[in-house]
Structure formats: structure tokens, C-alpha cells
Structure 1
């Protein structure tokens, strides 16, 4: 029975993950590095990759700061509406990214959005620009850091923090010397997951960006455009780069993580 279960799990992973990703890699290198060379020679593709990097990094930094803050708030403090806040954090995991993009469009549309018209009058453009893309990407990756940090905070407890406070440590010193070192690997894994999710975001970003070639396109939207326009080699090359970036992040963390860390 154990062998059968192992075969089922391995077969499931092969069919769902390894085989499709392997086909992307195979098609990318059908003719050597030609597809990658052509992709990097296209200024629109290069711009899309840069835009993906900018949006992803900024989104991850925002989620890092607020994710750690919200995690500490949920675990270390009791307040009215705590359960509601915890439930709201999981909304991005249950709502389609397309719905997220449409919601942002309705709120920040410069023509008839709730806040869009006022922001447009002030010279601030959200929709069809980088800020809107960052907001959409930040939203879809919001829970990942929090859901990695919260269980670790609950497991380590607050005994050391109270001991440090009883010895005269300030809240900042407790955070910097006790709390953050205790949850550093949870933060790292949360950041890696958020980065991978941000790099691969498609639905929400496509709606709020407008998918403008050479301006607001990201790597994922370029893949769709090139594949539909029968430029499959470039689509395969960009897909390979996206998958490769995510895998590298996970591998680097696994290598750098101390073996004695549980």
C-alpha cells in the first residue's frame, strides 16, 4: 500500500508539474539558445522583464513590512475584530485575481472611479500605470508572508520577549534582538513565496495595466501576447525564465538554510 501511494503521488506530481514544465524547457531549447537570444534582443521583452522585476520587488517589500507587522499584531495582541482581520487576510487566496483587478479598476478608474477622478486631478495615475500594477500584485501575494510567520510566532511563544522587557529592553530592542531573529527563516520563506507569486501574477495585472506594449506589459502578459501571435519560441523563452527565477529562489533558500533549523 505504501508503494502504491508513493507511485500515485509521484505520478500526480509528474503529470501536473514535471511534465508540463519539462515541455516548456524542451521547446525553449529546441534550437539551442536561439529563443533566449531573440527574446533578449527584443526591446519590448526586455522592458517587460524589467517591469516585472520592479513590480515584484516593490510588492514583496510592501508585503514584508506589513506582513511581519500584521503577524505580530495577530499573535501578540488581543483586540476587537481580530478574527475578522485574520479571515480577511485569506481573501486574496480565495478570490480570483481577475476580480481583484476589476475591483481596483472600479475604485481607481480616472473617469468614474471612487477615488480615481480625484487622484487624476492631483496628477496621480493609478490605473494603466505602475502604481496600479504594484497594488494588484501586492494584494494577491498578501497572505504568503503572514501565513509563514504566524505559526512560528505562536510556536516560539513570548517568554523570551517578556524576559527581555523585564531586564529593561525597549520594544525596538525586543523586536530587533529577540523577535526578528526567531522568525527570520519564516520571513525568508514568506518572501520567497511572495516573490514567486508576484513574478507569476497575470490576471489582476493584465486588467489594471492595460497590457500596453513597451509601457505596462509584464513578462506574463508578454507570454500570452506572443503565444497568441504565433511567436511561440519567445513565449516559451519567457516562460522558462519565469519558472527558472522561481526555482532558483527556492533552491538558494534551501541551500543557505542551516541544517539544524526545523
Structure 2
């Protein structure tokens, strides 16, 4: 009788351990990582004061799991000179197939060549403007081909150089997949946004258009921004084209 009870106990513990192992396998998530490198004829930003205005290369990386992601965006001039470095930490919460929300924060460094005086001698040096920002971006997904989101960002200067306070609010309809053929498709991301830089403000229209081929790492993109009404200095129309490579 004792032998039977011992065998039953061993079998019970074994089955319990096996089921726990299966459950742990089900809930575990692998670390996801993606990267993209873009070469563009014109380094532009939705913030006019942060645009480069000449050919540039932009490297973006996303690493994370369970909704938490580290997503740096590193930008240089095509000549290798520094432009800006943004280090996003984001939490992406997807409540259902229809609704999701992203919250994020970052420190950033905007690098500009500046005239300085060192030991009485005039010289040019790269000076970094330091910022910190927070974002909030809820999105409603009507289907795999259309979603609508709003985006809010507030940035604050951390030193004595540059704009002290920035605010950005936008309405963003998204069309990630517009089929052109069995192999090619367009992604279309228009937005209307309001931008405030210290005491100046303005409204703008922006669109990003991407031509992609299924299961192919290279795509072409274009960004177009125009002023609707604005007190902020900068060109009325800004655009670029880019070659994107997924790694």
C-alpha cells in the first residue's frame, strides 16, 4: 500500500512539474529586435529648428519584449558629422485588437556647429542642446488597413541653448497597406499637427509615403510638410526622399 501511494505521489508531482513547465513556456516571450537605416537627400524634422537641411543618414533600432521597448534614433549628416541622438523608452499596451496606447520618454541631444571663443581664439565646435520629452499616443484600429490615432509630445530644454519648451499635438490617420499588385504596396501616413516653440506656434500638414515590396528589405519613402498657418520661422514647404534598408 505504501509503495502504491509513493508511486502515485511521484506521478502527481511529475505531472504538476510538467504542466508548470508547459505554462512557463506559453507565457515566455522572446526578445524582439528590428533595425532600419535610411539614406535621405534632406534631413528634415517636424520641428523646423531641429532640421539638418542637407543629406543625412538615420539609424533606428527597436529592442524589447512584453510591451517595453528601447528605441534609439541616431542621425548624422551624410558626411559623417553629428546631427541628433534620441533615446526613446516606450511602453506599448495593446488592450485588444481594436485599441492600443503608447507612452514614452526620452533624453535627446541636438548637435549643431557653433562659433565659440577658446582662450581668445575664435573657432567652430559642435555643441549639443539637451532635451527631455514625454509622449502619449492612443490609437484605434478599425482594420489591418486603417487606424486613427492622436499624438501628444512635450519637450523641455535641459540647458541654456535652444528652445526652452516645445509642444506637439497631431491627428494621425494611418493606411499601412494599400495594395498595388501581388508584390508591391504603399503605406500612407498623413497628419495635421499643431506645434508650439516657446512663444511661437503654428499648424502644419505632413505626409509620409512608403513604397515597399513584400518580403524585401529595401523600400523608398518620401516626407512632405507644408505650413497651414504659422509664426515659426522656416520654409513653407519641406520635403525629402529616402532609401530605407531593414536589418
When normalised by structure 1's length, the TM-score is 0.22
Structure 1 or 2: more strand by fraction: 2
Q: Which has the higher contact order (CA 8 A, sep 6+)?
A: 1
Q: Which has the larger radius of gyration?
A: 2
Structure 1 or 2: more helix by fraction: 1
When normalised by structure 2's length, the TM-score is 0.23
